[in-house]
Amino acid sequence: MSGADAAAGSELGREPYLPPATQPVRGLVWAIHLAVPLIGLWLLLAYPDRLNVRWEHPPSHFWLIVSVAGVNVVLGLMISQAAARRRDARLFLVSLVFLSSAGFFLLHGLATPTVILDKGSYGFDIGQPVGLMVAAVLALVSSLPLSDRAAAAVLARADLMRAGLVIVLVAWGWASLVEGLTPLSSPPPPGGATIGFVSWIGAAMYAVSAALMFRIHRRRPSAMIVSLMTAYALLGEATAASYFRPNWLMSWWEWHILLTLAFVFVGYSAYIQFRREGSSQGLFDSVALAATVRRIQGQYDEALEELVSHLRRMAELGAVSRAPVAIRLAGKFRLNEGQAAVLDRAGQALAAERELSARLGALVDVGRQARVGLGEEALLAGALERARQAYGDVRIGLVSNGQVLIGARAFGVDDFKEVESIAGGGVVVHPLTVKGVLAGALEVPVGTTRQDEALAATLASQLSIALENARLYRELETLFRQYMSPDVAASLLADPDQAALGGSLVELTALFADLKGFTSFSERVPPGEIVEMLNRYHTVAVPCVLRNGGTIVQFVGDALLALFNAPAAQDRHAAQAARAALEMQEAAEEIAAGNPGYPRFRIGINTGLALVGNIGSPELRGFNAMGDAVNVAARLEGLAEPGTVVIGGTTREQIGKAAKVRPLGDLNLKGKEQSVEAFVLTALD
């Protein structure tokens, strides 16, 4: 794809934008306005005797030409200034369209008979058609979707092109106004001078230019682009009308009128837009190239960002006046007072919108941070940090000795009985409650919009809920979780339906452990020493199971049952159970070494299918596992020697070569018709 094609794709887009509503009606009216002059020309030529009469009045011609040329020069200079300000190649080329046509139009007027020359001249006849032809070439180039490279090349040669146009105009004026110097200042041939088919080429170029401008208008609707389209179309009609001779007939006057209408139409559109916007800075921005429009939009975005940032700083400082930023933006972006005021109001609205979005986002984040398991201090610290980003200097105080201290202010329980919040000193204080009882307070700066008070109250409510949840969870941590496995507790908290009676068939690894000689030890020592011994053993055994992902589902006297791969899934549950068992034996041996009379752990492990779920009654239930795999684990534990770990064949098969074992052969276990292969686990790589 060429650079021009790429520029065209970016400027026009694949899906052109068509303004809704009355666009077809406007197009019809526009077409009728352009068709009326052509119908008039046809009538003049079709009925030459009655309509196409002769009216020769050089003064009227001269002053008409001078007036329109003046309008044209003003427009050309304004567009040229806009081109220089925006560094835009299209605006520069459009300015040359107006300046070149104005120059040739003025020379045509100066060549009017009796002004400088006594009689008509060849230059008088063809001056304006030549000027229209030059302007047609510039109009066509200006309507093309110029690539960045082409636009840069045009701007790099801008001074050269202006100088060239001036030289051409000076040379043409010298040649056509100095009598006897060149054929241009001589009388025209009989019947008048003409440039023939060249006029039709110029008219065609104007038509193409208007069509290309229409494509830009579809993508970027603008009254100024419409006026430029109209001007190109009228210039094209004037070029075609200039073909018909002789001079001073109504058909000859018509193309003068068309030229006048073309330039006056653009001037009037510029005036209306100036009245609407109050400034000439952006009159022709819509005509610029797409890259220039994007750059202008970026500048306005920058202005709004600067304005919003300034408003936020002023709000934080408690200042009211915004005059400095308005003055700075007006100077930086060349805005008048009205535009600066509009931008100031827009900035205030945008700042308020952003503050609202930021505070809503803070509410969402505070709710998201209040997750299960997060400590109260961490919860409040995270919520405070996030709230300060959106609300400013937010403070939180908790109840201590019946009072809430926030800075130098103290609040009691009775302070919030009759009111929902307490305002004063530029801040609003909202209560934080836990189960309807005052637990703290939230201090928020007074907002600038009517939504701020409601948002602050919502934030306080959100923090109250989070604080209550954190404290309830802490109670669960100290009570609920100490009476069951963390995995079971977490599953029930996430999905209470899992507490329903029933279960599912799962492959798991069951670990049974008990103390060999516990009965005889219990007969010898008092009950208090029994409890102390059990607690010491379980204190070191439980972390070994939990650290390896196991779930302890039963404590029965000196025995415990742990499951791996239920309820929490594990990829290598057999190996994890074996590692937990070896760690348990190592930790238990350290206790037994210092207490020679203590019984010692023996452990049995087996892997297989089991029914896992809640077993019991609607009034009381427990999480457990049932099945042959669990029964075999219990039997292997009963055959194990103190201080050893016995595993079944399925467990060893799943662990693989990492298990260092001593075979026990095929064992006949109680309640089993078939023998079970068993091994003593000595180590695990």
In a domain, 449, yes or no: yes
Residue 363 lies in a domain: no
**Domain count of the chain?**
4
Contact present, 151 and 289 (Cβ < 8 Å): yes
Give yes or no: residues 281 and 331 share one domain.
no
DSSP reduced 3-state for 634:
helix
Q: Is the pLDDT of residue 481 over 60?
A: no
Higher-pLDDT residue of 263 and 656 is 656
pLDDT in tens, 513-550: 999 999 899 989 999 999 999 999 999 999 999 999 89
Identify the band that residue 426 occupies on the pLDDT scale cut at 50, 70 and 90: confident
Beta-strand relationship, 600-616 and 645-648: parallel
Domain-located, residue 489: no
pLDDT, tens digit, for every residue of 429-471? Answer: 888 888 788 888 888 887 666 677 777 777 778 777 777 777 7
Report residue 561's pLDDT band, with 50, 70 and 90 as the boundaries.
Answer: very high
Same domain assignment for residues 389 and 313: no
Residue 31 to residue 565: CA distance in whole angstroms: 80
Same domain, 322 and 275: no
Task: Among 289-298, 352-361, 451-460, 589-598, name the one with the lowest average pLDDT.
Answer: 352-361
d(CA 419, CA 67): 76
| Mean pLDDT value across residues 135-152 | 86
Residue 415 lies in a domain: yes
- Residue 476: pLDDT above 70? no
pLDDT at 195: 60
The more confident residue out of 444 and 49 is: 444
Considering only 283-292, 372-381, 455-464, 666-675, which range has the smallest mean pLDDT? 372-381
Model confidence at 231, pLDDT cuts 50, 70, 90, reads: confident
| pLDDT higher than 80, residue 660 | yes
pLDDT value at 43 more than 60: no
pLDDT of 318 higher than 50: no
Rounded to the nearest integer, the mean pLDDT of the chain is 76
Q: How high is the pLDDT of residue 354?
A: 65
Are residues 248 and 263 located together in one domain of the fold? yes
Q: Where a domain ends, among 423, 452, 478?
A: 478
| Per-residue confidence (pLDDT) for residue 341, from 0 to 100 | 63
pLDDT at 645 over 90: yes
Integer CA distances (angstroms), 380 to 165, 387, 434, in order: 74, 10, 14
500 and 642, same domain (yes or no): yes
Give the CATH number of the domain where residue 378 resides. Answer: 3.30.450.40
Instruction: Tell me, yes or no, whether 504 and 589 share the same domain.
Output: yes
Q: Which residue has the higher pLDDT, 5 or 387?
A: 387
In a domain? residue 196: yes
Q: What one-character DSSP code corresponds to residue 641?
A: P
- The band of 482, judged by pLDDT with boundaries at 50, 70 and 90, is low
* Least confident piece of the model among 87-101, 121-135, 355-369: 355-369
User: What's the start-to-end Cα distance of the chain, in Å?
Assistant: 63
Q: Which amino acid is residue 489, in one-letter code?
A: A
Boundary (domain end) residue, out of 478, 504, 533: 478
Tell me, yes or no, whether 160 and 57 share the same domain.
Answer: yes
> So what's the pLDDT on residue 319?
43
Residues 580 and 650 in one domain: yes
| Least confidently predicted of 189-203, 466-480, 577-591 | 189-203
Is residue 118 in some structural domain?
yes
| Residue 303 and residue 284 share a domain | no
Question: How far from 152 is each of 88, 135, 146, 147, 535, CA to CA, in Å?
Answer: 9, 21, 9, 9, 85
Is 88 or 480 the better-scoring residue by pLDDT? 88
Angstrom distances, CA of residue 256 to CA of 238, 253, 385: 7, 5, 74
Q: Is 441 in contact with 457 (CB distance < 8 Å)?
A: no
Mean local confidence (pLDDT), 150-170:
88
Helices (H), 278-425: 290-317, 323-333, 337-369, 376-391
Whether residue 657 is predicted with pLDDT greater than 80 in this model: the reply is yes
Q: Which two tokens stand for residue 176?
A: 């056509």
Strand spans (E) along 388-536: 395-400, 403-406, 409-412, 422-424, 427-434, 437-445, 502-516
**Residue 94 phi/psi, 5° resolution?**
-65, -40
- 407 or 663, greater pLDDT: 663
Indicate which CATH number applies to the domain containing 650. Answer: 3.30.70.1230
563's CB contacts (< 8 A; 6+ apart) are 508, 509, 510, 511, 550, 551, 553, 612, 625
| Same structural domain, 64 and 94 | yes
Pick from 166, 180, 177, 175: which is nearest to 134 by CA? 166
The 3 state secondary structure assigned to 441-453 is: EEEEECCCCHHHH
Is cis: bond before 543, omega within 30 of 0? no
Identify whether 483 is part of a domain.
no
Say if 365 falls within a structural domain. Answer: no
Domain limits for position 396: 370-478
Banded pLDDT at 1 (limits 50, 70, 90): very low
Percent of the chain topping pLDDT 90? 19
**349 in the same domain as 374:** no
* 563 and 511 within one domain: yes
Q: How confident is the model at residue 599 (pLDDT cuts 50, 70, 90)?
A: very high
Q: What are residue 628's phi and psi, to 5 degrees?
A: -60, -35
Beta carbons within 8 Å of 651's beta carbon, 6+ residues apart: 509, 574, 577, 578, 605, 606, 607
Beta strand 551-556 with 559-564 is antiparallel
Residue 611 has pLDDT above 60, yes or no: yes
Give the pLDDT mean for 147-157: 87
What local confidence, expressed as pLDDT, does residue 39 receive?
55
Percent of the chain beyond pLDDT 70?
68
pLDDT at 596 over 80: yes
132 pLDDT higher than 70: yes
Residue found under tokens 């963390």: 486
142 exposure class (CB count in 10 Å sphere: 0-12, 13-18, 19+): buried
The owner of tokens 């890259």 is: 291
Burial of 538 (0-12, 13-18, 19+ CB in 10 A): middle
Residue 627, Cα to own-chain centre: how many angstroms? Answer: 56
Give residue 150's pLDDT.
87
Residue 494 has pLDDT above 70, yes or no: no
Domain boundary among 358, 380, 408: 358
- What integer is the mean pLDDT of 391-407? 80
